[in-house]
Chain A
């Protein structure tokens, strides 16, 4: 049983949702990034979604774009990302850790080398923002060979054949998109139609986790009530890093408060 399945077993019978925060590794520095992860986990995070800094993050809105830049300013690189991951995994053995990054980083590292490295540091899943299922063959093969789950994004307006493919190829969880566009909390999110959720549930038992633009309790409660298993929140946390990274104490205090509140919202029964 992989860590996502264990998480599912822990939550589903009790009708609880899960809260997965997303941050960029090394934002604003390696030390602070590790402290932020500690605060998130100690205050309710059920899993982690972590980004590798990339020069051209075209799926990301302004808030996360700036996080990539802050990580670069702290001299972050792919090897330091893996070193950080090793430390995080050593400290938190049971929590699912997924990576969200861009295809060229993996391609340049060597696809198989990358997934092997992920296996060695204890990563559970990899989601590639600019890789649709149609182009995923080489990546999935290496993921399977190295026992890493692949995660694909299911758009809110996906047609039946796409839903089917994504359910088949997404082996960790399925990332449900709140809306079109890029990441960020400045736009209205939508709960995917009950029809889409019904269709997905008919063909898969995997966790359905919604992301993009989720920032408050009201949204989370609505999402969990619709039958979705959990939420990924990125920009709302990263905004706190942006606003307070020069005052570490204040930043961590705010992240603690937010993390508790977001987790609390996933428990509605």
Chain B
């Protein structure tokens, strides 16, 4: 029996080989203890403030919205140490690993942002770290690979499948099923078997808490919409968490539309996927009519995943969050736009969310609206990809 509910509606669960169940139970029980442990909370709060650099600002766009009645605020997770929101939750998981007396960390990464975060938390807390990364992602995220190695992590190239995040996730789970006694699997997003979606949400909820407080300070009211990109869904669930009960706020999750959701080249698992069992969870999965998992596609390595966290699947089913898609070229356009007009280079992942906010602004230029976009990470890592895309 689990201590916490392992399902969100009919989504979630623990679909893993039997051998991993004790490790998941151990993690859940340590997490439940940590929620009640004042010392744990203090340690984490201290690291978030004095190491990671929280709180991150909420920046009002000065130029992007000119000529409209829209105000776009950016939640600046790009300014967090490590360059993305990923640092929030790895610090929490690293502390849990320490409490469980685990000596090693296994992680997987797509864009390399979670890999960088895992590597820095392991360097800080003296944990051995190995990170699985698809060969296609290693090629498109060379800088982040170097960062990980610099911080002492071992980066293991994954050649199977398409050489992307899905394959790295499979390989990390394979490693964990052999080494669960000494190793903690530092899963990078709000997906996978219980208790990961709950743990990741808890540690990322700091984004939503800060955002709510900051928007009240600036606007003295709730925003019209909160917009975040959704791959596995950790930055989105983090910022949504404080607004879920405020039904006047539109919550919008933006999936990677790739070349177009009418093609085979996209990663929109909520819009185009079906309920399935994959990566330890029951959720929305891109799959064939026979249940084989499809390869996803996105210009953004961090969104290139054929499934989504189970809480998003549930929020979609109860229609609390609207999930939309943005294509590669729309995301690149937003990437250029924000860089040029505001002097902020957003991650390609976040550019998807931004592109949708720009769409909302352009569709209703006279509407008096406040939009918050979660800039989940910075775009330095994507410069080559964008350059290549623009030179095509």
Contacts and interface: CB of A to CB of B under 8 A. Distances in A.
Interface of A: 54-56, 58-59, 61, 65, 77-78, 102-109, 129-135, 152-155, 157-159, 162, 166, 177, 180-182, 187
A254 to B, nearest CB: 26
Q: Which 9 A-B pairs have the closest CB atoms?
A: A108-B291, A181-B178, A55-B292, A103-B277, A155-B19, A104-B277, A132-B18, A104-B291, A105-B291
Q: Is the interface of B mostly helix, strand, loop or mixed?
A: mixed
Contacts of A102: 277
Contacts of A130: 15-17, 277, 280
A187 B293 CA distance: 29
Interface residues of B, number: 37
Interface of B: 13-22, 160-161, 166, 170, 173-174, 177-181, 274-280, 282, 285, 287, 289-294
A96 to B, nearest CB: 22
Contact of B13 (A59, A135, A162): A135
A152 B277 contact: no
Nearest to A187: B178
Contact of A107 (B276, B279, B294): B276
Contacts of A56: 161, 166, 170, 278-279, 293
A112 B296 CA distance: 29
B280 A181 contact: no
A109 B288 CA distance: 11
A108 B179 CA distance: 31
Contact of B291 (A65, A109, A134, A135): A109
A174 to B, nearest CB: 11
Contacts of B289: 108
Nearest to A153: B18
22 contacts: A58-B173, A58-B177, A59-B174, A59-B177, A103-B277, A104-B287, A105-B292, A107-B291, A108-B287, A129-B17, A131-B15, A132-B17, A134-B14, A135-B14, A155-B18, A155-B19, A162-B18, A166-B18, A180-B178, A181-B177, A181-B178, A182-B178
Contacts of A154: 18
A153 B19 CA distance: 8
A119 to B, nearest CB: 20
